[in-house]
Structure 1
Amino acid sequence: MGPFDSEEEFDTWCLARVKSPMTAAVLKKLLPRMLGKTPSKFVLTHGDLAARNIMVKDGNITGIVDWEYSGFFPEYMEYALATVIHDCHEDWWLPVLKEVLEPCGFQRSKFTAVIKDRGW
């Protein structure tokens, strides 16, 4: 997957992964309302920012492991992955992520979840 040259290309890739043509049509219609006033920047995204993947020693972060799902995605992707698409996050961890990551709208997060429906 990727790299993507634009947010539009990324969105097209996500839509192509939707199994149901009706769902894809609805999402495509909603997409213009999800776009920000300025295009999202693409940033290095871990893709599985779970507590188990963050190494800490003496209260300091010493490393982040398990970069299997990483890539350059729109800046909202880490938030969407952590809060909507997440797997096996501990209950205490989600509020921490919501506090430190730049939030995106619920619809955008749910739209981005289509990548998981088909696996990656």
Structure 2
Amino acid sequence: MDTTTWTLEQVKDRISKGQEIDERVVDIGQNTVVKFADNVSAEEGEATMFIARMTSVPVARIYAILRDESDGVTYIVQEKLRGEPLINHLPTLDTATRDALALELQKILNELATLDKGHMGLFGRPSQYGSGILAKFDPPVPPIESPEDFLRWLPHNVRDNYGRDEAPLPTGIFDFSRPPIFSHGDFVPENILIEDGHVTGIIDWAYAGWYPYFWNDYIARRRSTLMAFQDGKWSQMVGQMMQPFPEEFRAFQQLYYRADSLL
């Protein structure tokens, strides 16, 4: 597909004739989908292209990134990958298939970890974060160069910008000597596509960027606490595919929820 021919008018016309997959994604045919909304960013598409260029991780080809300045909506025209979200099949997967998928996902995470150190924050947006309370802070956060900066910034921001007592930073738990890692930012079953027992794609790179060393485990382990994952199958896969950081998880969870309760 010629990526140079897309115009905003063409994309909108194709969307009007396409099939909605969810509230932000429309299948416009020819194995192509468009993701769009006022909270979709060009950096998500750029992060996807970065991963395609720098790794062998299966991601969608990006055909065009367009923005309608009249309403602030960004449109990412991209390849429709094969497969269905892991979450749809996780409860019925046999042990051998789960183990094989965990190994494939481990290789993906290991490859992402080899990427050069970047600036702490979202891809293309240093010192910014887009998830949960991390996206609530206004004004923008100060420069964050290390995991220690990140962990100290969260409680300080609650104090300085919201006039509340800061959540104390637990001591003796976080290893501030460890550099940040590149992370998908939301490596959970909803964003992992599988088909015939194999990983076919990792989607939704909106939160991709550089985070503290324990971030993959924190996000995956937090998801396993939800009711839909109480059968423990996702937790088992998490234990197989990434290094566990249980103490950091508990400490950051406490810090995060303390800050969230004050906002």
TM-score, normalised relative to structure 1: 0.70
Separation of aligned partners in 1, 2:178 and 2:200: 29
Higher strand fraction: Structure 1 or Structure 2? 2
- The equivalent residue for 2:220 is 82
- The equivalent residue for 2:145 is 5
- The equivalent residue for 1:111 is 251
Find out whether 1:94 has 2:235 as its counterpart: yes
Offset from partner CA, 1:24-47 (integer Å, 9 cap, x none): 2xx33x32x0133x6122112123
Offset from partner CA, 1:66-114 (integer Å, 9 cap, x none): 223332101211101211x3274523112211221111132x2133234
- The higher-RCO structure (CA 8 Å, 6+ apart) is 1
TM-score, normalised relative to structure 2: 0.36
Superposed CA RMSD: 2.9
Check conservation: 1:77, 1:112, Cα contact below 8 A.
no
Asked which structure has the greater CA Rg, the reply is: 2
Check conservation: 2:182, 2:208, Cα contact below 8 A.
yes
- Percent sequence identity is 22
Change (3 A) 1:18 1:98: farther
Check conservation: 1:48, 1:81, Cα contact below 8 A.
yes
Give the counterpart letter for 1:71 in structure 2: G
Give the counterpart letter for 2:216 in structure 1: E
Separation of aligned partners in 2, 1:35 and 1:96: 24
Give the counterpart letter for 2:243 in structure 1: E
> How many residues are treated as equivalent by the alignment?
111
- The equivalent residue for 1:34 is 173
Give the counterpart letter for 1:15 in structure 2: P
The structure 1 segments of at least 4 consecutive aligned residues displaced by more than 4 Å after TM superposition are: 17-20
Give unmatched runs, 5+ long, in structure 1: none
Change (3 A) 1:17 1:78: farther
Change (3 A) 1:69 1:78: same
Separation of aligned partners in 1, 2:251 and 2:182: 20
Give the counterpart letter for 1:16 in structure 2: H
- The equivalent residue for 1:15 is 155
- The equivalent residue for 1:67 is 205
Give unmatched runs, 5+ long, in structure 2: 1-120, 122-126, 129-143
Check conservation: 2:188, 2:219, Cα contact below 8 A.
no
Check conservation: 1:34, 1:105, Cα contact below 8 A.
no
Give 1:14 deviation, angstroms.
2.5
